[in-house]
Structure 1
């Protein structure tokens, strides 16, 4: 997508509270965001199949088999859900429209339902990957919490939007609290992905990507992979970046001692 098209798309974005309700990333920008993505074997298989199917629209239409266009991801923070959205947008050569929940959510839930509709109407007119993180905020069970009737209105609007979602756009939702989602919302998704802390293979691959520009220090990747067991991808990235900054400050090569120092200083919350 060239810059003029990007600007036109942004100009058409729905607004609330005086702000655009989403941010737009071009496929090229998505490629930079997702350059270090590492997926589990199962999730890689799901993504590859999803992309393959969308590249065979005519054959599926001839067979009268509907195409998947709604994908939901669930798992702890920092495990690759957002990166997957960027990766899919890049592979599909579509802009990523990242919904800003702070603008969609309104103190009057009736206004929230209207904003949800506006976001989906935008995706109906502009081919894109529409991405909504923290999806449970909008799609939580209708019999939970306060203001049940008003919350039901938001969920019902969301269900209608999901049922009507068609065309060349793809909708991706992510949540850390899948148990909070209304069962009716779950049923609207044709593709589901589960995320967790990377296993040893995933850590090794990710650490290798993060250290690829560094001098080849014997055993550095292996020791780092072992040290960061149980960490999310986001935590691994932050600790390696912290160690690289220390190396720059000290005008030294990145080594395991700096990574251990960064690890000791980092406020780590392990994921399951």
Structure 2
């Protein structure tokens, strides 16, 4: 896809009560973010196929097959969902529009739905990857106990926006609580990606990207049950310890860093 992105300062994003509702990242900035991305084989295949299809638009239109343009990612925190949004933007050579939920959600009746509409209207008119994290905060089931049915109004607006979404943009949503999503919204996504904690092989690959090969095997065993985000923070802490000690990173540094960081590990 052709990139028509601009610098952060030049892009005019929707505003709510004078507050920007999103942050924009250029493809170059996205590329810097994804230098150390590790995707599960299935998710890498999904991303590659998604991008391949977008590059074959004319052939799909000839066969009257609709183009995919909506991805939902679900899984535990720290497993790479946000990084995948940056990766997609970089691969598609489009700016990433990172929506700020704190600016979207409003206490006044009707404001949240109005803000959702503004964001989607922007993406429909400007080629981009529109990314909304913690999507369950907006798209949760309508039969839950909502004050004055405000969330039902938001979900109905979301459904309309998803049905009307088109052009050259891609919408990406991420959630840790897929069971909270309204079933009607769930059905609107043509592409779904499941994220889990990294496997042993994933951990080795990621740790090698962070610190090289020498300690990767030992560290991968030690950090079983950690997310990618946990591993990154533990390795940064271990590197700091090595620098303070004025010596090369060793396994003891990693053990001490793990003990101090104390992640909620699941084995």
SS at match of 1:48: helix
Distance 1:167 1:30 in 2: 21
Identify if the C-alpha distance between structure 1 residues 36 and 158 changes in structure 2 by more than 3 Å, giving closer, same or farther.
Answer: same
SS at match of 1:90: helix
Q: CA contact under 8 A between 1:196 and 1:271: conserved in structure 2?
A: no
In the other structure, the counterpart of 2:247 is 252
In the other structure, the counterpart of 2:218 is 223
Q: 1:99-178, aligned counterparts within 5 Å?
A: 99-147=99-147, 149-178=149-178
* RMSD, matched Cα: 1.5
1:203 aligns with 2:203: yes
Q: CA contact under 8 A between 2:5 and 2:95: conserved in structure 1?
A: no
In the other structure, the counterpart of 2:235 is 240
Identify if the C-alpha distance between structure 1 residues 3 and 91 changes in structure 2 by more than 3 Å, giving closer, same or farther.
Answer: closer
How far residue 5 of structure 1 moved from its aligned partner, in angstroms, is 4.6
Distance 1:2 1:246 in 2: 43
In the other structure, the counterpart of 1:184 is 184
Provide the TM-score with structure 1 as the length reference: 0.94
Distance 1:266 1:2 in 2: 42
In the other structure, the counterpart of 1:7 is 9
Q: Deviations over 1:17-54 (max 9, x none)?
A: 42110000000110111111111111111111011111
Provide the TM-score with structure 2 as the length reference: 0.96
Give structure 2 stretches of 5+ with no counterpart. none
* Structure 1 residue ranges (4+ consecutive) displaced by more than 2 angstroms after TM superposition: 1-8
In the other structure, the counterpart of 1:268 is 263
How far residue 4 of structure 1 moved from its aligned partner, in angstroms, is 5.3
Distance 1:7 1:65 in 2: 38
SS at match of 1:97: strand
Q: CA contact under 8 A between 1:142 and 1:148: conserved in structure 2?
A: no
SS at match of 1:52: helix
Q: Deviations over 1:206-240 (max 9, x none)?
A: 0111113xxx64xx111001000110000000000
Identify if the C-alpha distance between structure 1 residues 271 and 101 changes in structure 2 by more than 3 Å, giving closer, same or farther.
Answer: farther
